[in-house]
Structure 1
Amino acid sequence: MAVSVDEQSVKRLAYIRMVYEQGVAQAKQPMPMGASSLLSLHDAVEMFLVLASDALNIPGDQRTNFLDYWKKLKVVDLSHALGMRRLNDARNGLKHAGAMPSVETVAQALTDTFAFFDDNVPRVFGVALWSVDVSYVIPQQAVREWTQKASASFEDGKGGAALALLRLALQCILEDQQWPHGTVLARLSRRSMSRPGKLALLFQRAFGESRNHRVGDVARGVEELEKTVAGLREALQWTVLGGNLHHYARFQFLTPDAGFYWSRDESRMEEYLASEWVTQRNPTREEFEFCRQFVVTTALRQADVSAHVALPSWEEDRRSSRGPEA
């Protein structure tokens, strides 16, 4: 008895998948950090059970326990009750009794949760959870569209192009940061950063006619300094966004550098996506999903930071009084 999937349900399924993939990523961390995966996996399953109840118009209340849903949702005959009981016991042991799970317990939880979603999401909605694009949760429209194109490219067998499109989506996030003028965030933004090498080039132009043979050495030193400062500013950006630099390093390693302007020229973009530099990449699903999840997480963090770094109320009022041309 599968129900139709409306837009709101798709968004909730996308969020559920995002939480599930977060749990999968946490499980790969060394213990005891990997233990937190049990909390995310349990949350993802419970949110799906609530969504299924809503979609099937089955009332619930705060007294409904996790395992009660298998009785409440008899109309769809939910499976994998035993596996979810194991997950529930392990999660409760960790959260309420401080019982640290073993590596084997976490691995079993991953297997059980995957099997639960793989079997039960189609039972309720007639579609696989893995077909739901997590990009639905991205608030920035341009970033969401590029990420959706990346997902479509990957499913079409164009893994290299998918990675390049995700690099473009991340570039859109970083370029869209419009911090209030004069703040430290504005000085750290990509918009305020000149390309590395510009100062060195000016130095060479100014002193290139000099007979001093050390001018070239100094220019190269200036260029290296520019690169170092640019790297530090980029690292500080990720610190502001609350990101992990080692995750960003992996993302950079997996995805091809899209260049700074190529996204603004459609013909150049198509040419780039078909280039050997892009097509030679053949990512696994895990690698692609890691990069996509990185974009989604960064987009959400950027939206959260932007909401907290808004213009002061009096500045908003002043701009409003100027009218639309202000």
Structure 2
Amino acid sequence: MQRLAFIRLLVQQGVDQAQFPAPLSAGSILTFHDAVEFFLILTSEHLGISVPERGKFTARFYDSLHPDKAGPVGVDLAGRIGIQRLTEQRNAFKHTAAMPTAEAVKQANIDTVQFFEDNTPRVFQTAFSDIDMVDLIPQPNTRVKLQQSAEQETAGERIEAMAWLVEAFDELLSTASSPSSFRSTPFSFGPNIHHPLAKRDVAKILRQPRDQDRRMPLRGASSLADEYVALRESVVSLQRGARLTALGIDYSEYWRFNSLTPGVHRPNQHSPAQISAAPEYSPDAEEYAYCQRFVIASALRIAEAMAHRRPPSWEA
């Protein structure tokens, strides 16, 4: 199932790439074809059918896997014309640098998604949309939170499902930016400000007995409090941006994730989450799927970054 989960993640990355403006959307052609090829190889392994190494891509797999040639263990795969079209676009792009048109990218998106929706149940007896990408996540606590999110989404509680995604991502970022037992992490960029003072309290602290002195700036304590709070908020934002960038997480993707998710506060692990969102907050299925993919991709990027966070051999 882990390889199926990877294939689904690859397809979703292709769908996201296809939405980019040209020429950035062109890369989706390669991603879609890689996902299809990975699926066909996995299918041949799953069914125990040998596929020739040479020959045209579509014919090699569709003919070799068909019951007419493979017998009772074979499978009649759907979408041959669409995959042939995708393969031609991929070969032209990869081998002759022929940039695909916007129409070709759109068609490749449709053909690929339809291929997986039709063929995954035929081969693996499960719907493509039911493949759980959570299996790819190496961090156990994050995986549990994403499973909780998926359960809430299945139950029709999408706002709660989004809240679990927020908690899963926050835990990922917190773990990655916390010092380890042997040295400070390169991803922290300074300590967190856990209990920031309210602006009015800062002004009270700054206000001195000579506050009424004519030589003092008018409302000086309040103005300085404004500047301090603005500076603090800027530093907190820059700190988070630096952490995301250092961990390999695209900030624009994070910005969309943050704009689609509610505010969440949980006093402790046994308390219900306190969710804050605008009254009209109602994310749709595509927005939920995007946020889920973002957390999964972030978990994989953070795992890669953390692999380098081990002590030198002479300190181990």
Give the TM-score category using the shorter length.
Answer: 0.7 to 0.9
Aligned to 1:268: 272
Residues 1:73 and 2:74 aligned together: no
> Per the alignment, do residues 44 and 17 of structure 1 end up closer, same or farther by CA in structure 2, a change over 3 Å counting?
same
Quick one: distance in 1 between partners of 2:267 and 2:48?
45
Match of 1:39 in 2: 30
Say what the alpha-carbon RMSD is for the aligned residues. Answer: 2.3
Report how far residue 265 of structure 1 moved.
Answer: 3.3
Question: What secondary structure sits across from 1:230 in the alignment?
Answer: helix
Q: Which residue of 2 aligns with 1:314?
A: 314
Q: Distance in 2 between matches of 1:164 and 1:279?
A: 15
Matches within 5 A, 1:245-256: 245-256=251-262
Q: TM-score, normalised by structure 1?
A: 0.85
Q: 1:88 and 1:186 mapped to 2: Cα distance?
A: 41
C-alpha displacement of 1:31: 0.4
Q: Measure how far apart 1:151 and its partner are.
A: 1.7
Counterpart CA distance in 2 for 1:310 and 1:298 is: 20
**Does 2:2 correspond to 1:11?**
yes
Unaligned runs of 5+ in 1: 1-9, 317-326
The answer to whether the 8 A contact 1:160-1:280 is kept is no
CA distance in 2, matches of 1:314, 1:185: 19
Partner of 2:83: 84
**What amino acid maps onto 2:247 in structure 1?**
L
Q: How does 1:24-63 map to 2 (within 5 A)?
A: 24-60=15-51, 62-63=53-54
Is contact 1:37–1:106 with CA below 8 Å preserved after alignment?
Answer: yes
Residue 185 (str. 1) matches residue 186 (str. 2): yes
Q: CA deviation at 1:136?
A: 1.0
SS of residue matched to 1:264: coil
Identity fraction in percent: 34
CA gap of 1:49–1:124, structure 2 versus 1, over 3 A, is same
For structure 2, the residue ranges without an aligned partner over 5 or more in a row are 67-73, 212-218
Question: 2:134–2:146: 8 Å Cα contact kept in structure 1?
Answer: yes
Give the Cα separation in 1 of the matches to 2:172 and 2:228.
Answer: 29
Note closer, same or farther for the CA distance 1:292–1:235 as it changes in structure 2 (3 Å cut): same
Matches within 5 A, 1:1-326: 10-60=1-51, 62-63=53-54, 66-67=57-58, 68-74=60-66, 75-177=74-176, 178-179=178-179, 185-188=186-189, 192-195=191-194, 197-198=196-197, 203-204=202-203, 206-212=205-211, 213-259=219-265, 262=266, 264-269=268-273, 272=274, 277=277, 281-316=281-316
The secondary structure found in structure 2 opposite 1:59 is coil
Q: Secondary structure at the match of 1:258?
A: strand
Question: Measured at CA, do residues 21 and 315 of structure 1 come closer, stay the same or move farther in structure 2, by a change above 3 Å?
Answer: same
Say if 2:187 and 2:247, in contact at 8 Å, map to a contact too.
Answer: no
Q: TM-score, normalised by structure 2?
A: 0.87
Which residue type is aligned with residue 87 of structure 2?
A: N
Question: Could you say what secondary structure the match of 1:76 adopts?
Answer: coil
1:210 to 1:14, Cα distance in 2 relative to 1, 3 A: farther
Does the Cα contact within 8 Å between 2:185 and 2:309 map onto a contact in 1? Answer: no
Report the Cα offset of residue 159 of structure 1.
1.2
Q: Could you tell me which amino acid in structure 1 is paired with residue 103 of structure 2?
A: E
Q: Tell me how far 1:66 sits from its aligned partner.
A: 2.6
Change (3 A) 1:199 1:124: same
Higher helix share: 1
> Is contact 1:168–1:263 with CA below 8 Å preserved after alignment?
no
Q: Deviations over 1:16-73 (max 9, x none)?
A: 0000000000000000100000111111111111111111111346446531110121
Q: Distance in 1 between matches of 2:103 and 2:225?
A: 56
Larger radius of gyration: 2
Cα deviation, residue 184, structure 1: 7.0
- 2:14–2:28 contact (8 Å) kept in structure 1: yes
**Structure 2: how far apart are the matches of 1:263 and 1:133?**
29
Identify which range, 47-56 or 170-179, moves more after superposition: 170-179
Looking at structure 2, the residues matched to 288 and 268 of structure 1 have their Cα atoms a distance apart, in angstroms, of 21
The answer (yes or no) to whether the contact 1:160–1:278 under 8 Å persists in 2 is no
Give the conservation status (yes or no) of the 8 Å contact 1:14–1:133: yes
